[in-house]
Amino acid sequence: MFFAARFLYKEYLLARHDTYVMFFQGSLTGLKVTSKVTYRGVKIGEVKRIEIAENKDKTEVEIPVYVDFYVARTFEAKYHPVDILIKKGYAATVTQTNFLTGDAEIALIPSTKSTETFPAKKGFYNQYPIFPTIENKKSTSFSDALTSVKITLNTINNLLQSKEVAQILKHTRAMAESIEKLANNLDQNTVPVIAYFTQALSQFSKAANSFENLTDYLSRHPESLIRGKS
């Protein structure tokens, strides 16, 4: 009984989610349900729901973003670490979208006197507290995009030129040649089991050769992983 109560108490402490609502003024490109919410580089929550709504004056469209923070439970009524972050001047911003994956995340960063947070005062939306946000005005430049692509292509090229890949190709080529010789030496007029086995060996040999050809092509044209084979 004691151990069961201790287990339930531990689960009670760890299972709490504090839900807040965020309103961003800038682009939400790449943001989706389950997108990460980070603080000091660590995931402390995720996007729970994204809606479209109208403002109080019914003149503008808003996009409330509901976020679940992972908060350790306690029986103390005044235990609210997320509120402490707000009091310390932290605000949420949508990070720069990853050029390759298209994903974005929400980062909690300290605001400064020169940055404008929204809302300026603490408020509630649909009975949920509103977490202040900062508009991320930094956009991905074409130069940044080219740099990201160049780094990716260099990484792919280095991988394909590595000794490990060369060894794999060497063993694959030797295996394909051995299997092809074995398949040619088998009598095609023997029992069906042998015939099926021979056919399987031939298919495996073709697959090995195809893998070698693909790897050779990628080593010469790594950019095809991004733009496709021309």
> How far apart, in whole angstroms, are the C-alpha atoms of residue 117 and residue 131?
10
pLDDT at residue 115, as a whole number: 72
Domain boundary, last residue among 108, 138, 168: 138
**Same-domain status, 79 and 99:** yes
Total-model pTM: 0.54
Domain boundary, last residue among 138, 172, 206: 138
**Same-domain status, 151 and 130:** no
**Same-domain status, 164 and 216:** yes
Look up tokens 């005062």; give the residue.
121
**Same-domain status, 108 and 212:** no
CA gyration radius for the chain?
28
> How far apart, in whole angstroms, are the C-alpha atoms of residue 182 and residue 201?
8
**Same-domain status, 55 and 130:** yes
> How far apart, in whole angstroms, are the C-alpha atoms of residue 112 and residue 30?
26
pLDDT at residue 192, as a whole number: 56
**Same-domain status, 28 and 133:** yes
pLDDT at residue 7, as a whole number: 45
**Same-domain status, 54 and 165:** no
Cis bond before residue 119 (omega within 30° of 0): yes
Residues in the chain with pLDDT values less than 70: 1-16, 73-79, 97-100, 114, 120-121, 136-154, 156-166, 169-230
Domain boundary, last residue among 95, 113, 138: 138
Question: Are 50 and 63 spatial neighbours (Cβ–Cβ below 8 Å)?
Answer: yes
**Same-domain status, 87 and 27:** yes
**Same-domain status, 23 and 123:** yes
**Same-domain status, 98 and 26:** yes
What 3-state DSSP class applies to 51?
A: coil
**Same-domain status, 43 and 108:** yes
Burial class (CB in 10 A: 0-12, 13-18, 19+), 22: buried
**Count of structural domains within the chain:** 2
**Same-domain status, 160 and 132:** no
Give every CB contact of residue 108 below 8 A, 6+ residues apart in sequence: 37, 38, 39, 44, 85, 90, 91, 92
Which 3-state string (H, E, C) describes 153-176? HHHHHHHHCCHHHHHHHHHHHHHH
Domain of residue 168 covers 143-227
